[in-house]
Chain A
């Protein structure tokens, strides 16, 4: 038998039902400022993309017409629907909370979620990340111009209502380019860190589990790569294997992933070294399980918490590395533009048209800062020493 205890807000104040009209309002009126404002911000973004984009949906969805590059309006529509659903679901849960059993209330996951929700800066970072992702995913609906159309406006035009962030020397709209460029920048960050996490976890676990010369050898490789300036190594590889076209992106992503796994490997290694001594591992061994099974089913899942924290911090670093590479002209090849490429585009006309370099740079700062804040929040929420 399980005792039924209340969730933090089993008897939600009636005011929270305001959220059913406008998600976020309910949180706001009962004093949950960060969550409320964050949700309202997302509401605004959805309303904006609906106003700006739904009118020309037909034009966007028809193949062959409209823009000259693939715009993925289907993904944008799907994102819109899913986000709206999630928003209203959150508002509904706040107004009519589900009752939790005591076991559920005290589960690690529930504690983690409560800690994270109480972490103001971490939540700010999370909303920053969500905002960046939505902005780039909804780009086809929001972007007022085709990002690679050279005649969107007069060249080197200062920011105005028609061109929120001005235009570059070809008359391309900087704001539209920013939205589409963000997709590539963020995707590169996520995929590269996913590669790094996979490699790092495997190498760290294998090194700790087998020990001996395998451990020494793998850690020697990690130390060697840590001693190399990352950007210089990236430059060497990308500069030597000039790969043209879209394949260039794959090369960059893979290389970024291959140069970021060392920190993760060290974390996983130290975790596995201490887990190795515990009874459940000995039991697994006594049962005659294979090395691979013990590693992947019993050890690695237990090391995931710090890895997730490290990854959310590493995405920022990876985006900075990609931006640096693109800035030196060795990044993603045209016509695709990441934020780093856009800053580079703005270097020559820095004095006449400072907006071309300023806004993409600010976008990088905001994105990286959001990931760092969110990572800090995750770390604190997962830290058993700080549990409430």
Chain B
């Protein structure tokens, strides 16, 4: 097992190297660089050279390429060109926020979708099955940014406005405290510092809910679809018939015998969903003003901040590879027949 994990970890190195090289080549081929934005038509050639030299852009590309590889090998991300801060610091500020967003998907949306997919497969071809299918396909086909905007409009504007109206008419105070969800940001910009720790936690949770759902709902809807077909395939097999023939309760047959096998492809799909979550984060964080990796990457691209772009790809590729590895390792826990030697 450990040997297998070690071998897989070693395989991450060529993957990350390939990604970083590809991005480096793309950045080199693209016209313009960060120094351009300091130039005006009046800039003298001497000043131009100074600025270019300040960012190390006067050295040949091949030299910068190997310097970058050497630095990345020791996790030295260098200095952001646009933000005048260590890249490591910037990423460490942003990454936890994005992970926080994906936590909603991982611990709320995915388990829900697995339960829904199971219900669909158990009640195959019933009205429940069809209606869940239609709803999940609807969300599966939805652009996350549009979902985010519609939630801002319907939940954070119309519904919250209605709740506040109810409270203003003498309704109980807790309604507004609990159900009036904010439309953007991570914390209440004004009141947060004056709250008790419990209220602060609630405030954070309220801010987290809408972007978290917007980011993961499409992917979770896809998971429900896969869960349904995977379980349907398992239920048809002989050993399930045997289990039923033994007189086991249907509930036991499904949960103990069928689900375990049906979960295997789902674990792979969840492990491979990291890049999709990242893509979703780019859009959702932009809409909800959420200071995470997605917004960071967009900003870095707009500013042509080479070290930050490369570091962001480096980190996201690492996370993707680790997600895949985690999926494969958890296989062994779900299915004792699988052994990695």
Give bound CA distance, A327 to B15, whole Å.
30
Are B320 and A351 touching (Cβ within 8 A)? no
> Which residue from A220, A351, A372, A373 sits with its C-beta under 8 Å from B18?
A220
Q: Which residues of A contact B159 (CB under 8 A)?
A: none
Interface string of B115-148 (1 = CB under 8 A from A): 0000000000000000000000110111111100
Are B137 and A224 touching (Cβ within 8 A)? no
Minimum distance in angstroms from B119 CB to a CB of chain A:
19
Q: Which residues of A contact B47 (CB under 8 A)?
A: none
> Which residue from B149, B309, B320 sits with its C-beta under 8 Å from A236?
B309
Query: Is there a chain A Cβ closer than 8 Å to B175's Cβ?
Result: no
Are A327 and B283 touching (Cβ within 8 A)? yes
Minimum distance in angstroms from B315 CB to a CB of chain A:
11
Q: Which residues of A contact B157 (CB under 8 A)?
A: 351
> Which residue from A227, A235, A351 sits with its C-beta under 8 Å from B275?
A227
Are B279 and A328 touching (Cβ within 8 A)? no
Residues 259-281 of B at the A interface (beta carbon under 8 Å): 272, 275-276, 278-279
Residues 346-388 of A at the B interface (beta carbon under 8 Å): 346-347, 350-351, 354, 357-358, 361, 364-365, 368-369, 372-373
> Which residue from A221, A227, A347, A357 sits with its C-beta under 8 Å from B321?
A227
Please, which residue of chain B has its CB at the minimum distance from the CB of A234?
B279
Please, which residue of chain A has its CB at the minimum distance from the CB of B279?
A231
Please, which residue of chain B has its CB at the minimum distance from the CB of A239?
B301
Q: Which residues of B contact A240 (CB under 8 A)?
A: 26-27, 29-31, 301, 304
Please, which residue of chain A has its CB at the minimum distance from the CB of B277?
A229
Q: Which residues of A contact B276 (CB under 8 A)?
A: 229
> Which residue from B138, B143, B301, B317 sits with its C-beta under 8 Å from A235?
B301
Query: Is there a chain A Cβ closer than 8 Å to B80's Cβ?
Result: no
Query: Is there a chain A Cβ closer than 8 Å to B23's Cβ?
Result: yes
Are A236 and B282 touching (Cβ within 8 A)? no
Count: A-B pairs, CB below 8 Å = 124
Q: How big is the B interface, by class?
A: 35 or more
Are A229 and B141 touching (Cβ within 8 A)? no
Please, which residue of chain B has its CB at the minimum distance from the CB of A237?
B26
Are B145 and A324 touching (Cβ within 8 A)? yes
Minimum distance in angstroms from A122 CB to a CB of chain B:
12
> Which residue from B142, B153, B272, B282 sits with its C-beta under 8 Å from A351?
B153
Give bound CA distance, A354 to B144, whole Å.
17
Query: Is there a chain B Cβ closer than 8 Å to A323's Cβ?
Result: yes
Residues 131-188 of B at the A interface (beta carbon under 8 Å): 137-138, 140-146, 149-150, 152-153, 157
- 8 A-B pairs (CB sep. < 8 Å): A235-B297, A236-B301, A240-B301, A324-B144, A327-B145, A343-B143, A346-B149, A354-B153
Q: Give 4 A-B pairs besides A226-B275, A228-B275, A365-B138 with Cβ atoms closer than 8 angstroms.
A: A227-B317, A236-B26, A240-B26, A364-B142
